[in-house]
């Protein structure tokens, strides 16, 4: 296989730029440019040790560090050399250019991790965990990504596969000796039913997992002047949206994200709902309703002192996934008996409201394994469907079908770790990585 090279750090000025090379020729190519007093030949290079030396490409000199990881004890399983040069786009590109001129090939997106996968260093879902770690924007996302990358999720899937494989072998045996194996077959179907429950829980966990990954979208809707923009500003901690006592101040959607207890929340402040002759405001109100429809949670805000507009409240409830009734301005009107009581002005009750948003969406997803990747959810859904069909076939005494369904279920699970994943799936996953990873 070719020796590949790429810049692994982001472009732009920074303290350090890392140029990475992987493949059989890595060390040989590196030592054409790198010199240091203790290295006279490739044998002198101690794996895993950073060495300070000089990189010289014939015209430009750079004082930098080099580190060597000897195959198979490296990220890719191949020989890896990294140059840690002074940060700066031109310098790193210059170093990379020298390596390419000496025979290395430019690495494609995710090619290092792809090689690691083919070398058996990590499973496909662990590789996806690496990508998820890189793109994580919240603590909760990081936690789930780490669970993927570190193989905890993989272990869970493997455990399910092991159980199903045991069920499968019992069922295969019972095909030949149906009478003698009747009890064993019953027992193993009970085991299959347990696996089914675990799969159902996993599929269910994707609802929360998806929100953890993309953030919870929260639309703040309600009549004009009830304090929606004030609530947005209070949640953000700065004055983002214009607040005034003039009705119809907000006419467009104002979106910003916050973190609450490590979970990302995407807030959308919207135009207040009212009858209006103003064309632009009217468009704004339509957008408010569309935002309510698209949101994971709607905060329907009203004044604590006002009367609930039953018709509007019913409309909002009908078009939204989840709605929380929020009574604002309790600093003036005092708390009410209905919904949540807050004051956007003083901040009272706002944290409790944020907790409620988490409770009704991600709940306590920390307790169990959570699906966060659409691809994994799809595999588990297919595995579950096949297993359900297998269990049904068993009750119809159709053992042949049971075997086919069980095998399909196991195959669908194996796709998660990459065992039965097609080339297309694998290519698709790595193409979404950055170059140099
Ligand atoms: N006393 C008090 N006034 C508030 C509170 N929230 C908003 N306001 C005031 O209500 C008016 C309308 O607020 P705004 O956030 O623009 O409402 P929106 O039209 O729903 O976005 C402004 O004068 C705010 O200062 C609150 O909790 N207490
Ligand atoms: Mg407003």
What lies within 8 Å, CB to CB, of 365 at 6+ separation is 205, 208, 209, 212
Neighbouring-strand partners of residue 20: 6, 82
* CA dist., res. 437 & res. 435, Å (int): 6
85 with 151, same domain: the answer is no
The protein residue with its alpha carbon nearest to ligand 1, atom 10, reads 227
CATH code of the domain containing 324: 3.40.50.300
* Residue whose C-alpha is closest to residue 284's, from 217, 221, 216, 230: 221
What lies within 8 Å, CB to CB, of 192 at 6+ separation is 163, 164, 167, 387, 390, 391, 394, 406
pLDDT tens for the chain, 437 residues: list them. 899 999 999 888 889 999 999 999 999 999 999 999 999 999 999 999 999 999 999 998 999 999 999 999 999 999 999 999 998 889 999 999 999 999 999 999 999 999 999 999 999 999 999 999 999 999 999 999 999 999 999 999 999 999 999 999 999 998 888 888 889 999 999 999 999 999 999 999 999 999 999 999 999 999 999 999 999 999 999 999 999 999 999 999 999 999 999 999 999 999 999 999 999 999 999 999 999 999 999 999 999 999 999 999 999 999 999 999 999 999 999 999 999 999 999 999 999 999 999 999 998 766 678 899 999 999 999 999 999 999 999 999 898 999 999 999 999 999 999 988 888 888 888 988 888 88
What lies within 8 Å, CB to CB, of 10 at 6+ separation is none
- Alpha-helical (H) ranges within 34-181 are 89-101, 111-118, 124-135, 139-149, 152-176
**CA 243–ligand 2 middle distance (angstroms):** 6
Identify the three-state secondary structure at position 433.
coil
Q: Which of 301, 329, 361 is the last residue of a domain?
A: 361
Question: Does some domain include residue 96?
Answer: yes
* CA dist., res. 406 & res. 174, Å (int): 14
Question: Does some domain include residue 112?
Answer: no
Question: Does some domain include residue 114?
Answer: no
325 with 396, same domain: the answer is no
Q: Is 219 in the pocket of ligand 1 (CB under 6 A)?
A: no
61 with 81, same domain: the answer is yes
Identify the three-state secondary structure at position 30.
helix
CATH code of the domain containing 20: 3.30.1360.120
Question: Does some domain include residue 427?
Answer: yes
Kindly report the backbone phi and psi dihedral angles of residue 302, in degrees, each rounded to the nearest multiple of 5, phi listed first. -145, 170
86 with 148, same domain: the answer is no
Q: What is the pLDDT of residue 423?
A: 86
303 with 356, same domain: the answer is yes
Contact (Cβ atoms closer than 8 angstroms) between residue 406 and residue 104: no
Kindly report the backbone phi and psi dihedral angles of residue 310, in degrees, each rounded to the nearest multiple of 5, phi listed first. -55, -40
Q: Which of 107, 139, 173 is the last residue of a domain?
A: 107
* Domain count along the chain: 3
Identify the three-state secondary structure at position 382.
helix
* Residue whose C-alpha is closest to residue 191's, from 223, 156, 166, 227: 166
The protein residue with its alpha carbon nearest to ligand 1, atom 19, reads 225
Q: Which of 361, 391, 407 is the last residue of a domain?
A: 361
399 with 422, same domain: the answer is yes
Question: Does some domain include residue 368?
Answer: no
317 with 420, same domain: the answer is no
Q: What is the pLDDT of residue 219?
A: 98
The domain in which residue 84 lies consists of 4-107
Contact (Cβ atoms closer than 8 angstroms) between residue 5 and residue 96: yes
Neighbouring-strand partners of residue 55: 34, 62
Q: Is 274 in the pocket of ligand 1 (CB under 6 A)?
A: no
13 with 29, same domain: the answer is yes
pTM recorded for the entire structure:
0.83
285 with 350, same domain: the answer is yes
314 with 258, same domain: the answer is yes
Question: Does some domain include residue 117?
Answer: no
Question: Does some domain include residue 118?
Answer: no
CATH code of the domain containing 204: 1.20.120.430
Mutation to probe ligand 1, out of 243, 252, 269 (largest number of atoms < 8 A from CB): 243
233 with 356, same domain: the answer is yes
193 with 228, same domain: the answer is no
Contact (Cβ atoms closer than 8 angstroms) between residue 349 and residue 343: yes
Q: Is 272 in the pocket of ligand 1 (CB under 6 A)?
A: yes
Question: Does some domain include residue 147?
Answer: yes
Atom of ligand 1 nearest to the CA of 269: 21
The protein residue with its alpha carbon nearest to ligand 1, atom 23, reads 245
Tokens matching residue 396: 């119809």
The protein residue with its alpha carbon nearest to ligand 1, atom 2, reads 329
């Amino acid at each position: 296989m070719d020796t590949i090279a790429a810049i692994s750090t982001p472009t732009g000025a920074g303290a350090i730029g890392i140029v990475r090379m992987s493949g059989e020729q890595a060390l040989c190519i590196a030592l054409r440019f790198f010199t240091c007093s203790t290295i006279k030949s490739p044998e002198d290079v101690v794996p895993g040790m950073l060495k300070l030396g000089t990189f010289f490409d014939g015209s430009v000199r750079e004082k930098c560090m080099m580190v060597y990881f000897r195959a198979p004890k490296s990220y890719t399983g191949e020989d890896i050399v990294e140059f840690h040069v002074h940060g700066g786009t031109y310098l790193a590109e210059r170093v990379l250019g020298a390596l390419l001129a000496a025979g290395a090939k430019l690495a494609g997106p995710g090619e290092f991790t792809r090689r690691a996968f083919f070398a058996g260093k990590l499973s496909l879902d662990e590789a996806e965990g690496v990508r998820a770690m890189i793109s994580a924007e919240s603590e909760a996302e990081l936690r789930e990504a780490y669970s993927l990358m570190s193989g905890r999720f993989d272990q869970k899937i493997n455990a399910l596969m092991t159980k199903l494989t045991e069920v499968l072998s019992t069922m295969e045996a019972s095909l030949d000796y149906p009478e003698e194996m009747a009890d064993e077959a019953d027992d193993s179907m009970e085991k299959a039913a347990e696996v089914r429950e675990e799969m159902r829980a996993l599929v269910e966990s994707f609802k929360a997992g998806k929100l953890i990954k993309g953030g919870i979208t929260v639309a703040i809707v309600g009549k004009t002047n009830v304090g929606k923009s004030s609530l947005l500003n209070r949640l953000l901690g700065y004055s983002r949206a214009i607040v005034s006592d003039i009705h119809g101040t907000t006419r467009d959607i104002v979106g910003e994200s916050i973190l609450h207890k490590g979970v990302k929340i995407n807030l959308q402040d919207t135009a207040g709902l009212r009858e209006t002759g103003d064309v632009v405001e009217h468009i704004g109100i339509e957008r408010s309703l569309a935002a309510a429809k698209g949101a994971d949670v709607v905060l329907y805000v009203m004044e604590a002192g006002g009367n609930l507009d039953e018709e509007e409240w019913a409309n909002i409830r009908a078009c939204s996934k989840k709605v929380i009734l929020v009574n604002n301005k309790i600093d003036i009107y005092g708390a009410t008996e209905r919904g949540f009581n807050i004051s956007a002005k003083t901040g009272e009750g706002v944290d409790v409201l944020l907790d409620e948003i988490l409770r009704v969406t991600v709940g306590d997803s920390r307790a169990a394994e959570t699906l966060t990747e659409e691809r994994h959810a799809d595999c588990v859904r297919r595995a579950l469907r096949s297993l359900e069909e297998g269990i049904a076939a068993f009750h119809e005494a159709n053992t042949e079908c049971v075997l086919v369904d069980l095998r399909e279920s196991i195959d669908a699970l194996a796709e998660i770790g990459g065992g039965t994943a097609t080339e297309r799936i694998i290519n698709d996953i790595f193409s979404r990585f950055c170059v140099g990873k």
